[in-house]
């Protein structure tokens, strides 16, 4: 095999080895760090969870021991078994029991909140207080997801044996929280359906979370404890929705101690004693913290190795420079064909490079051949105004090999006369020859003139004005001075008659399209005025015999009036008449036609059903018909402005009536459904078949009051009426006026009326 090929393979192999080996080493190190870090994190997490489990089970054992001590308390035993006579309460025994059990809450934070229910006395004993009516205790401390009847039936009137109520929302004097409840009936191991006493220990979720703080603080993830049935005992850093997903069919596998779920490594252990499952989620970012450090070191080493490999490659490239020299010989061969033919890989390289050069020459010739088409396409885009920015126009001009060699200029359209409406093959061929002659003669006069065809009989050109002629008229006179002899020569030699129309001067590439449109308008005026000469746009502005009122302006005016936009409709009318009065000198006939068109527009608007049913329909119609075409444009502007104001007012009034009907419908619905605690803005929106944001803003605009405030006022007014009837309790009133919680009702009533419901009721004594 040739020497240079063997050297090339050796060079390539060495370079690849230098690059690949450090990358493989870095990758293996990175993967190893992940596995080691994951193993350590799992072991630490399991240890933390086991410590938290042991501590929690020890505390729960103390709670169970507390209930056993209560079962052995002689005073409590006497109280729950003695028979209560009417009006007779053993206050001393109750006080003695309270004094004996208060000490437990001082040694165990799990026992800070508990109560004992004595069925025979119907009393609830708490540390430091006794409630001889359970409902009084319920008012100060209760589960937010339980009514009082549910509380009685579920907890007080039901036997319990070391039973734990899962995590539930709870509200007491300290605010709202979530708790689990340990419930035990007394005496212990009784099998009666109704036990004499019930002990309930309420354990705040925050107390349990403090036991798991080590896991949370170490990893910053989340912790979650559930009972045998999967109900929540404690959660920290995770929402109920996420818990439901974890326990769902696509969630965690119960048979694995550690597994990845989402971006978290989930570690789980289960207590053999209680059956509770302890889970901790370690974020992947924390898990990868140490691995990322190793990764940084690995990639740093890899980068250093790559640099070394690059230096080695440079050395190898230098040692193997001979093939580069032979490659240079290929380029020399393009000019000297006497070199001997090579019978190896170099010959293949030589042939391909030679073909590349040949193809490059062919491509260059094709580009040169297509350049006029590219330039013509650029000019057409420039005249049509397709460029959005000046940079875009200049970049396209450079690509097309064109540029502006003048500070400013004007667009001129030269039309070959005598061929309008004729499109036979013979005529088209004749026009092609005529256009060619016109462009050749223009090129002789203006060597740098940029031109393009705008049809079979038209040529558009960009005529430049030199910087020495800053005045507009000076540049125009120079162009006319050169074009007039050309027009005469074309007619004398070729019988070609040309009409030239020019727009106003442009200063930048983005203004070329405006000048082109003005040139078109000037050419149209030449047809109207039967002018065959050199015309400028400024010459026709004061001579225009036509009025300006395009179809799109009429349609937009009709739509504006139908939408009730008073100011916009008047502005459009004033702008339209001002444009016809200031920019055009209309003949009396054209003015009459313009006024007639405007009257027709108003009659089209009046033909809509919205206006036909209005009381002012006949009056507005008569006013419209009464407009005289001979009136001044100023008088017409004022009269049409007043008519559009009236029509927009009709639309606004109909909208206002519809708004008031919608608001009344909302009020009626609220009056019927205010007692529904589930009454929401969404339900109101469904009733009136409108979007939520729409009815909220509409109600505020019409009544000046928020919809939620109005609903609350209706409920409070009804509550005030019910409070005068002492046969109805405050809790019942709360449910009757749409509150699930009497506590929420009390706060709302005091916020609205300034006094509590109880104080308001007492004011009628």
Q: Give Rg (Cα) of the chain.
A: 47
Q: Which of 122-131, 231-240, 248-257 has the lowest mean pLDDT?
A: 248-257
pLDDT of residue 701: 78
Q: Is the pLDDT of residue 533 over 70?
A: yes
Residues of the chain with pLDDT > 90, as a percent, come to 2
Mean pLDDT of the chain: 77
Where exactly are the structural domains of the chain?
A: 73-210, 404-540, 551-656, 674-762
pLDDT confidence of 275, banded at 50, 70, 90?
A: confident
Q: Is the pLDDT of residue 459 over 80?
A: yes
pLDDT confidence of 334, banded at 50, 70, 90?
A: very low
- Is 674 exposed, middle or buried (CB count within 10 Å of its CB: 0-12, 13-18, 19+)? buried
Cα(263)–Cα(273) distance, integer angstroms:
31
And the tokens for 677? Answer: 């605690």
pLDDT of residue 43: 79
* Domain 73-210 fold: Beta-Lactamase (3.30.450)
Higher pLDDT, 347 or 178: 178
Higher pLDDT, 134 or 312: 134
**Does 404-540 carry CATH code 2.130.10.30?**
no
pLDDT of residue 341: 44
- pLDDT digits over 486-496, tens only? 888 888 888 88
pLDDT of residue 324: 47
Segment holding 500, helix H or strand E: strand 498-502
Q: Which of 86-100, 426-440, 505-519 has the lowest mean pLDDT?
A: 86-100
- pLDDT digits over 639-652, tens only? 888 888 888 777 77
pLDDT confidence of 200, banded at 50, 70, 90?
A: very high
How many Cα atoms within 13 Å fall on the side-chain side of residue 705?
11
- pLDDT digits over 16-32, tens only? 676 676 667 667 776 77
| Most confident residue range from 34-48, 689-703, 727-741 | 727-741
pLDDT of residue 419: 74
Tokens 């005045």 label which residue?
471
- pLDDT digits over 355-401, tens only? 666 766 776 777 677 778 888 888 888 888 776 566 667 777 777 77
Fold match between domain 73-210 and domain 404-540:
no
List of residues 6+ apart from 607 with CB closer than 8 A: none
Tell me the CA distances in angstroms from 402 to 391, 393, 399, 448, 635, one per residue in order.
14, 11, 8, 10, 53
Q: Among the CATH numbers 1.10.510.10, 3.75.10.10, 1.10.10.60, 3.40.50.720, which is that of 674-762?
A: 1.10.10.60
Tell me the mean pLDDT in the region 510-521. 80
pLDDT of residue 314: 60
pLDDT of residue 704: 80
pLDDT of residue 579: 66
Q: Which of 56-60, 244-248, 439-443, 525-529 has the lowest mean pLDDT?
A: 525-529
Q: Is the pLDDT of residue 45 over 80?
A: no
Q: Are 453 and 459 in contact (CB under 8 A)?
A: yes
| Most confident residue range from 144-153, 295-304, 550-559, 756-765 | 144-153
Segment holding 474, helix H or strand E: helix 472-494
The pTM score is 0.40
Q: In what order do the strands lie in the sheet with 123-126?
A: 129-131, 123-126, 114-118, 197-204, 175-186, 163-172, 142-143
- Is 588 exposed, middle or buried (CB count within 10 Å of its CB: 0-12, 13-18, 19+)? exposed
pLDDT of residue 325: 47
Tell me the mean pLDDT in the region 473-483. 77
Tell me the mean pLDDT in the region 65-72. 84
And the tokens for 570? Answer: 């008047």
Cα(138)–Cα(146) distance, integer angstroms:
10
Q: Is the pLDDT of residue 157 over 80?
A: yes
Residues of the chain with pLDDT > 70, as a percent, come to 77
- List the beta strands (DSSP E) in 79-174: 114-118, 123-126, 129-131, 142-143, 163-172
Q: Which of 159-163, 205-209, 586-590, 603-607 has the lowest mean pLDDT?
A: 586-590
pLDDT confidence of 316, banded at 50, 70, 90?
A: low
């Amino acid at each position: 095999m040739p020497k240079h090929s063997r050297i090339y393979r050796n060079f390539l192999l060495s370079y690849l080895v230098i690059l690949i080996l450090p990358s493989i080493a870095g990758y293996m190190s990175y993967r190893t760090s992940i596995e080691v870090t994951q193993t350590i994190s799992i072991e630490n997490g399991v240890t933390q969870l086991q410590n938290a489990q042991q501590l929690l089970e020890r505390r729960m054992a103390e709670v169970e021991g507390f209930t056993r001590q209560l079962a052995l308390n002689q005073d409590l035993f006497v109280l729950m078994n003695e028979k209560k006579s009417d009006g007779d309460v053993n206050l001393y025994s109750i006080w003695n029991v309270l004094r004996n059990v208060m000490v437990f809450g001082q040694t165990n934070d799990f026992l800070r909140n508990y109560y004992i229910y004595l069925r025979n006395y119907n009393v609830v004993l708490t540390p430091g207080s006794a409630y001889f009516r359970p409902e009084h205790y319920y008012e100060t401390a209760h589960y937010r997801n339980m009514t009082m009847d549910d509380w009685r039936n579920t907890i007080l009137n039901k036997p319990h044996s070391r039973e734990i109520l899962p995590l539930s929302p709870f509200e007491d004097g300290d605010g709202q929280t979530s708790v689990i409840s340990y419930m035990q009936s007394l005496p212990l191991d009784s099998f009666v359906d109704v036990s004499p006493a019930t002990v309930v220990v309420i354990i705040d979720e925050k107390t349990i979370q403090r036991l798991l703080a080590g896991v949370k603080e170490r990893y910053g993830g989340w912790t979650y404890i559930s009972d045998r049935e999967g109900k929540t005992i404690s959660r920290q850093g995770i929402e109920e929705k996420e818990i439901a997903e974890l326990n769902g069919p696509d969630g965690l596998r119960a048979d694995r101690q550690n597994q990845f779920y989402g971006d978290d490594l989930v570690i789980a252990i289960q207590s053999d004693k209680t059956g509770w499952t302890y889970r901790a989620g370690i974020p992947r970012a924390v898990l990868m913290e140490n691995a990322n450090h190793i990764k940084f070191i690995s990639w740093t080493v890899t980068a250093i190795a790559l640099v070394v490999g690059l230096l080695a490659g440079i050395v190898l490239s230098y040692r193997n420079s001979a093939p580069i020299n032979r490659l240079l010989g290929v380029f020399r061969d393009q000019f000297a064909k006497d070199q001997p033919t090579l019978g190896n890989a170099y010959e293949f390289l030589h042939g391909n490079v030679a073909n590349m050069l040949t193809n490059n020459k062919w491509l260059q010739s094709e580009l040169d051949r297509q350049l006029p088409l590219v330039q013509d396409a650029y000019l057409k885009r420039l005249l049509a105004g397709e460029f959005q920015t000046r940079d875009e126009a200049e970049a396209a001009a450079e690509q097309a090999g064109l540029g502006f060699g003048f500070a400013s200029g004007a667009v001129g359209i030269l039309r070959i006369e005598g061929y309008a409406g004729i499109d036979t093959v013979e005529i088209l061929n004749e026009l092609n020859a005529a256009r060619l002659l016109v462009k050749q003669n223009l090129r002789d006069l203006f060597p740098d003139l940029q031109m393009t065809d705008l049809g079979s009989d038209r040529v558009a050109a960009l005529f430049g004005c030199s910087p020495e002629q800053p005045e507009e008229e000076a540049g125009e006179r120079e162009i006319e001075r050169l074009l007039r002899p050309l027009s005469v020569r074309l007619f004398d030699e070729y019988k070609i008659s040309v009409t030239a129309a020019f727009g106003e001067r442009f200063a930048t590439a983005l203004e070329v399209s405006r000048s082109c449109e003005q040139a078109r308008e000037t050419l149209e005026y030449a047809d109207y005025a039967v002018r065959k000469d050199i015309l400028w746009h400024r010459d026709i502005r004061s001579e225009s015999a036509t009025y300006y009122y395009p179809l799109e302006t009429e349609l937009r005016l009709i739509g504006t009036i139908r939408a009730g936009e008073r100011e916009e409709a008047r502005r459009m009318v004033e702008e339209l008449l001002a444009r016809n009065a200031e920019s055009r000198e209309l003949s009396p006939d054209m003015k009459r036609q313009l006024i007639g068109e405007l009257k027709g527009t108003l009659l089209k608007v009046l033909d809509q059903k919205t206006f036909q049913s209005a009381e002012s329909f006949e009056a507005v119609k008569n006013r419209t018909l009464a407009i005289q075409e001979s009136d001044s444009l100023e008088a017409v502007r004022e009269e049409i402005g007043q008519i559009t104001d009236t029509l927009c007012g009709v639309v606004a009034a109909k909208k206002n009536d519809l708004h008031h009907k919608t608001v009344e419908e909302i009020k009626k619905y609220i009056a019927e459904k205010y007692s529904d605690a589930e009454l929401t803005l969404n339900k109101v929106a469904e009733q009136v078949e409108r979007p939520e944001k729409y009815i909220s803003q509409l109600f505020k605009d019409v009544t000046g009051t928020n919809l939620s405030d109005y609903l609350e006022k209706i409920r409070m007014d009804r509550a005030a009426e019910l409070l005068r009837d002492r046969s109805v309790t405050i809790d019942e009133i709360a449910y009757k006026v749409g509150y699930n919680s009497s506590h929420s009702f009390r706060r709302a009533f005091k916020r609205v009326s300034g006094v509590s419901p109880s104080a308001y009721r007492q004011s009628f004594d």
